Amino acid sequence: MNTSYQLDVDKIRRDFPTLKREVNSGASLVYLDNAATSLRPIQVMAQITRFYRDHNSNIHRGVHTLSVEATEMFENIRSKVGKFINAEDSREVIFTRGTTESINLVVNSWGRKFLKPNDEVIISELEHHSNIVPWQMLRDSIGIKLKYIPMLDNGHLDMDVAESMINSKTKIVSITAVSNALGTIIPIEKVISLAKKQGALVLVDCAQSVPHLKVDVQSLGADFMAFSAHKMLGPTGVGVLWGKFDILDSMDPFLGGGDMILTVNMDHSTWAEIPSKFEAGTPNIGGVIGFGAAIDYLNDIGMENIRAHEVDLTDYALQKMIDVPGITIFGPNLAKERGGVISFALENVHPHDIGQILDDNGVAVRAGHHCAQPVMNALGVPATVRASFYIYNTREDIDALVNGLSVTTDLFGVKS
Ligand code: PMP
């Protein structure tokens, strides 16, 4: 056991009532689908309930007590998120519905304003669909060129190609920090330095990094960063776009409506300052306030401890799973080169069958293309099974996964 970090998993597990669930008539739940969404601790649920019970109100526009309280609670979370990622100014934190909306905001508000036909946008073969499709839509609408840094067989990006692909025509590199499909940790600092040499902006999809690793936006040097609360103990329907102040300030609004305006006349309107300019309509107030409790929870544990725990679990899982007959584990060989994600296949067994049998045994994993079809195409498979870990997972959970896999291989007669 790696003892160089401090994380009281038994205590943590007591905060997650879902872990007490049984599924399929009596199997104890082993939750290994954290890359899709994490569980939520009682502290987050309690904070959401507290808001609706004691402070329920709309924000930014009321003078009555509840509205003032709700506004203060909501804005405090903006500062908390800013501190969590070390933003210079909390106005650089825009609340959205999630990573997907954050990326769409940049594509539409920055891309439509500043990109011209034939300008080059660089993404990678490892992206989640939410960092591919919005750029394709922009390409089809205004004629930009979209280029993909290819993936190598070992699940890493081909950095030699990246180096030649990022050139003076590149206007933005939009890239994931950690692949949701394979777990690969991307050398984001290197990508940023290549982009900066060419004067290009960088958007980092941090959906799989901010929940698991310490991220410091100032030392990273990117221009935009997107992530979702629901993958880091917070509620669904809340996300963040962080962007450098001057760049956000120069962009056009994304959605029009209430809260994002300064003045509205019959013939024209003017915009509010950031962050309001990008937060049209009533936001998910209760969700943002619950997200604050999630950040407190993660801060109490410490992101370094979270990362160390996940490396320990991933290392253990890689060692155990390699002995499963007929298994192929995709992505980097070493735990330190991955987030807590293991994508795999069993010879002659469809990933959905594996997922089903694991579920019969209480083990929740994801089987499918993980919203990353280009990765599946590069691997030459239609789908994989993905087990993904978080703070409440244990080595016993991985043993349960491996036991479920031996039930599967026995049933399908898979031999090594
Ligand atoms: N990017 C990555 C790397 C992801 O893992 C996900 C979620 N699976 C997303 C983007 C999209 O996040 P959301 O669905 O919360 O918008």
Stretch (H or E) spanning 388:
strand 384-388
Which residue is it, tokens 């890493």?
A: 156
Sign of the C-alpha dihedral, residues 205, 289, 298, 344?
negative
Report how far apart, in Å, the C-alpha atoms of 410 and of each of 236, 256, 329 are: 38, 57, 19
Residues with CB under 6 A from ligand 1: 98-100, 128, 130, 176, 180, 205, 207-208, 228, 371
Average pLDDT over residues 369-386: 96
pLDDT in tens, 295-331: 999 999 999 999 999 999 999 999 999 999 999 999 9
pLDDT on residue 4 = 76
To test the ligand 1 pocket, which listed residue (129, 180, 373) has its Cβ within 8 A of the most ligand atoms?
180
Strand positions, DSSP E, 6-132: 22-23, 27-28, 30-31, 93-96, 120-124
Cα 343 to Cα 349: distance, rounded to the nearest angstrom: 14
Distance from residue 130's CA to the centre of ligand 1 (Å): 7
Average pLDDT over residues 24-47: 96
Closest atom of ligand 1 to 102 CA is 16
Q: Is 371 a catalytic residue?
A: yes
Sheet with 327-330, strands from edge to edge, namely 327-330, 341-346, 384-388, 366-368
pLDDT on residue 62 = 79
Q: Which pLDDT band, with edges at 50, 70 and 90, does 288 fall under?
A: very high
DSSP code at position 152: P
Kindly name the residue from 371, 381, 402, 407 that is annotated as catalytic.
371
Closest atom of ligand 1 to 239 CA is 15
